Structure 1
Amino acid sequence: MFFADYVFYDGEVITVDRFDSVVDCVCVKGRKILATGEYNSLQHLIGPNTKRIRLNGRSLLPGFNDAHLHLVLYGVNQLAINCKESGMDSLEAILHALSEKAKSTPPGRWIRAWGFNERKVTEQRYPTLEELDAISTEHPIIITRTCGHISVVNSKALKLANIDQHTPNPQGGIIEKDQNGHFTGRLIEAANMEMNQVASYTEEELLKAIEIANRDFLAAGITSVGEAGAFNADSFRALQIASQQGLLQLRIYALLGSLVDSKDFLKKIIASGTLTGTGNEWFKLGPVKLFLDGSSTGPTIATREGYTSDPANHGILYYSEEEIYNILGHAHKLGYQITVHAQGDKAIEMYLNVVERALKEHPRKDHRHRIEHAGISTPDLQKRIKELGLIPVPNPPFHYEFGESYIHNYGERVRYMYPARDFIDQGILAAAGSDSPVTDYNPLIGIHTAVNRKTSEGTPIGENQSINVLEAIRMYTYNGAYASFEEHIKGSIEPGKLADLVVLNDSILNIHPHHIKDLQVDLTMIDGNILYQRKDSKEVGFYEVH
């Protein structure tokens, strides 16, 4: 007779099985779930050495699976100045922080800031090249907008990137100049991506960044991530090193793409002979990913109709439809899962045309091709997404931080932005991603916003797309596992599946929906091991081991 190593009982065990069963007990043996059910019926699995953890009505869920975030980028950002911190609500404060950083940074070394949003500062504008040059011309300086698609740099950075008055705009990008032909310092889309490759990090910095991200994501109950990529192969290599050395304890499904010249990067990946699904439960290769358009908050997404805020603006496209097909159609033929960054309805439509053509020429069952973001998914596009069997990966928390700008830039189209309700009603399986560091990685903020569809200022935004709590939890657990072909081993709490679990500090099903974002993670378990426990939880008698 063998007994469980852990038993969690007297709680709200949200299994996310096909019946959405909620029980009061789960038993863990080794790396896997041993049994679920009612505590009284599972006494035979509890032995003298079983650790019994009383939940006292708290929620226990499958570990959160963020299907799309940038783990490495989040980590390296923590090494830089954070423009989202309290007190950084003006250009004056941000420029002061940069000046102080310059005083302690050796000449020639990069000074970086991230999370900038021109709508959130008093001056309601970007900093200028001249303002950054006034801080230093001996240090390269880069301030990255919160979307990650736009940056502002100083003259030293431009010089390091070999950008001068004769440098042409890259495909899909703009090196901005004023009406007199002078650089403003602002780099948009592909131009920003190329600059970030110049402003690269050492392997030591990358590994430190990954450790930071691992720590923070564990504390948020995240056990699996779809790593959506960074600026070059160095970060991908560092991720693998960190996973092999145990510095990275999360499960990784690596999207094979680069934020710089993604088409060329994919050609190299395909030529290497690697294939979707290669790897193990800890690190697995995912789809090849191509960038199609810009940022929803930039705003630079490619739309069929002009922006409400600027009717002449239809955004930025990186490639033509034929270019997209030449790379992704070929990848589909070779057996890859494919995906794209597509935010605007124009970009989404182009991708759907490509997938439809690829499937017609080379039919394939259960391909699980994805669409990262699927921002403005209107009813006609939803219909085609369903027919083609695609998996959209929307970003629920975007509305919380950026909703006011969405209303300003897209008007009534917010009714179909990241349309979780429509996806579910259409029978489309959609997985949720935070796209961190673009916005907060905390899955509870994502679940909160998916349920309430309100901005951080309380403004309703596309309330017709609200979903219920269990539906939102499924997007952050089982659906993420399905999007990586791993629903048979994780994503729900069922016997035989991996023991990746998260315990909250209250009942997510009974708390008022407006307070979901205030919930905290008390415990995170991966592979049957407790890797995070909130300090205060012991003090309230949470971790009760007999």
Structure 2
Amino acid sequence: MTTTITNAKIFLGTDETSFATAMTIDHGQITWVGNQDEVTDRTAIDLHGQTVLPGLIDCHTHPKYIADALHGIACTPPKVNSIAELITALKSAPTYGQGEGVWIEGWGFDETKLAEHRAPTVDDLDQVSTTQPIFLYRSDCHSSVGNSKALELAGIDANTPDPVGGKIGHFEDGRPNGFMREVAASQLLIRAKSAQNYQTDVNNLVNSSQHYLENGIIAIGEMMGRLHPYDSLNLYQDAVKAGFKPRASIYYVFDELGDEILAPGDDDQLRIAGIKVFMDGSISGETTDNKSPYPSGRRGVLLTNRQKLERAVEYAQKHHLQIAIHAMGDAAIQLVIDVTKDLQPWLTGTPSVRIEHASLLSDQILKQMNDASMEYGLATQPIFFFAEDESYRNYLSPQQFKLAYRLKSMLTTNALTALSSDAPCTPWYEPDSPFYSIYAAVTRKTANGDLVNPEEAITVPQAILGYTKWAAQLGQFTHNGTLEVGKAADFVILTADPFTVPHEELQNIRAKETWLRGKKVYQRS
């Protein structure tokens, strides 16, 4: 049961500069960390100088969506750049042609990146199939498109009313055009899809386990917990029994709770951690709630007003849960601060209030967070500006653009800042690779070679802490985040050393091996 690793470069994750060269594991825990000169075990594993990090943590992601996406089709650049290419891609889906009732799924389209500069419609998707339902996620995972069969299964026709917080798109003649704007509308299609086969969803989640381990990810925050058409906790429990390996914390969408009471769990593998509130939409969808209008004159959407937010905060306080609040625009973030800044934290060891994305931050908001009684956490995503630079430059004014993803400024506040992916909610074919996010955070470069607010760059150690120690604290993974005695022996061995390679090469680093509870669970071939 005892394993010793030696001749390694082990980043402990306790701070930006602490390393060791050897460690011992016993019964899934780290029992010793030190210098390789102290190792006497002749069976010790010699890593020949390879770099070891604490297991990486994606504290804001959508594993259910990723599980669906992995058997669906990526409708993102570089392979999909037009609606014609999107139609061709969907016809290559593994479920294409498998019979009525079998869903075809795709993800990641962004109309600003398509040659037609519009979203696909029901008529476009019907060119793929009219007998198989099709579900296509937009890059922000807020909006989606369905074909005529999907609309039929969801009971959507010309007379279907818009759900609260969402909008069903229509052609000029009144027909539904298939576009479901914002989460509430997309859920109409998702519920029809998920209601078809619970066991398929379990199997998909189990199969996604390898995907996380390949990326060195050993723990995830499920930010879209649901009670309908089934309880997400039951889905994960059944998936864990069937072999799903990463640790998981679930955050339930507050809109769906009603009178239900959630109790925080203390299971190290799987637990309920908090609730999720949506304040606004997405920048790439031109729906964030900003203090100033978009240059187009459009205003974003405010999905949760002050009274509703106060009820959600009260619920989290009463039931001792963390509250994670999606807020991208500066007006949405300001409302969160206004409601919570004078409250006393109700959790210890982790922020009581998480602000998800925190995309546009003014100096005023940063100061208010710093001066507040509340302890805030910020879960932000460098992959957004990396993959969506064109959308940001197209939709934001120069003044708004300067507020985008101010990572260095976040680290100067008292707020605990973690990096994450929000995968698969961005138009990039590897949306939750931690190393693209680390590359973007350090270089501030985008996929198209642009530079975004370079003064907000952070260091490599800081970016790695954002995926390890700080992510563990924010996501409530108390046994992870650092490689110290007593912590879980969850770690990743890398293909290259991020601390010494040129910054341009950070995006090319991958997990060579991933270990969970002291056992190797993935090895790159």
1:120 aligns with 2:105: no
**Structure 1 contact 12–57 (Cα < 8 Å) conserved:** yes
What does residue 409 of structure 2 align with? Answer: 422
Question: Displacement of 1:194 after TM fit?
Answer: 2.3
Unmatched 5+ residue regions in structure 2? none
CA distance in 2, matches of 1:202, 1:529: 33
Question: Displacement of 1:429 after TM fit?
Answer: 1.4
Aligned residue runs from structure 1 range 34-433, under 5 A: 34-40=31-37, 42-43=38-39, 46-48=40-42, 50=43, 52-84=44-76, 87-99=79-91, 104-189=97-182, 190-200=184-194, 202-229=197-224, 232=228, 233-243=230-240, 245=241, 247-257=243-253, 262-263=254-255, 265-268=256-259, 271-272=260-261, 274-276=262-264, 278-308=265-295, 310=296, 312-356=297-341, 359=343, 368-386=352-370, 387=372, 388-412=374-398, 413-433=400-420
1:39–1:364 CA distance, 2 compared to 1 (3 A) = closer
Question: Displacement of 1:442 after TM fit?
Answer: 0.9
The one-character-per-residue Cα deviations of 1:203-228 (angstroms, maximum 9, x if unpaired) are: 22112211232101101110111111
1:213–1:364 CA distance, 2 compared to 1 (3 A) = closer
1:416–1:9 CA distance, 2 compared to 1 (3 A) = farther
Question: Displacement of 1:235 after TM fit?
Answer: 4.0
**Structure 2 contact 130–149 (Cα < 8 Å) conserved:** yes
Question: Displacement of 1:90 after TM fit?
Answer: 2.3
Superposition RMSD in Å:
2.3
Paired amino acid for 1:325 = E
Among candidates 490, 494, 503, match of residue 500 of structure 1: 490
- Identity score, percent: 27
| SS of alignment partner, residue 20 of structure 1 | coil
What does residue 527 of structure 1 align with? Answer: 517
TM-score by length of 1: 0.88
**Structure 1 contact 57–506 (Cα < 8 Å) conserved:** no
Question: Displacement of 1:342 after TM fit?
Answer: 1.4
Paired amino acid for 2:309 = I
Question: Displacement of 1:100 after TM fit?
Answer: 6.2
Paired amino acid for 2:270 = F
Unmatched 5+ residue regions in structure 1? 536-546
CA distance in 2, matches of 1:151, 1:288: 23
Question: Displacement of 1:195 after TM fit?
Answer: 2.1
Higher helix share: 1
What does residue 482 of structure 1 align with? Answer: 473
1:501–1:317 CA distance, 2 compared to 1 (3 A) = same
The one-character-per-residue Cα deviations of 1:13-44 (angstroms, maximum 9, x if unpaired) are: 1111146312222222221112222211x22x
Question: Displacement of 1:328 after TM fit?
Answer: 2.3
1:266–1:418 CA distance, 2 compared to 1 (3 A) = farther
CA distance in 1, matches of 2:208, 2:110: 22
| SS of alignment partner, residue 205 of structure 2 | helix
Between 23-32 and 100-109, the greater mean CA deviation after superposition:
100-109
Between 430-439 and 21-30, the greater mean CA deviation after superposition:
21-30
CA distance in 2, matches of 1:336, 1:143: 33
TM-score by length of 2: 0.91
1:330–1:230 CA distance, 2 compared to 1 (3 A) = closer
**Structure 1 contact 415–464 (Cα < 8 Å) conserved:** no
Paired amino acid for 2:243 = L
Question: Displacement of 1:454 after TM fit?
Answer: 1.0
| SS of alignment partner, residue 338 of structure 2 | helix
Question: Displacement of 1:493 after TM fit?
Answer: 1.1
CA distance in 2, matches of 1:146, 1:418: 18
Question: Displacement of 1:501 after TM fit?
Answer: 0.7
Question: Displacement of 1:385 after TM fit?
Answer: 2.5
CA distance in 1, matches of 2:167, 2:100: 28
**Structure 2 contact 5–45 (Cα < 8 Å) conserved:** yes
CA distance in 1, matches of 2:177, 2:16: 56
The one-character-per-residue Cα deviations of 1:43-83 (angstroms, maximum 9, x if unpaired) are: 2xx435x4x23233321110001111111210111222321
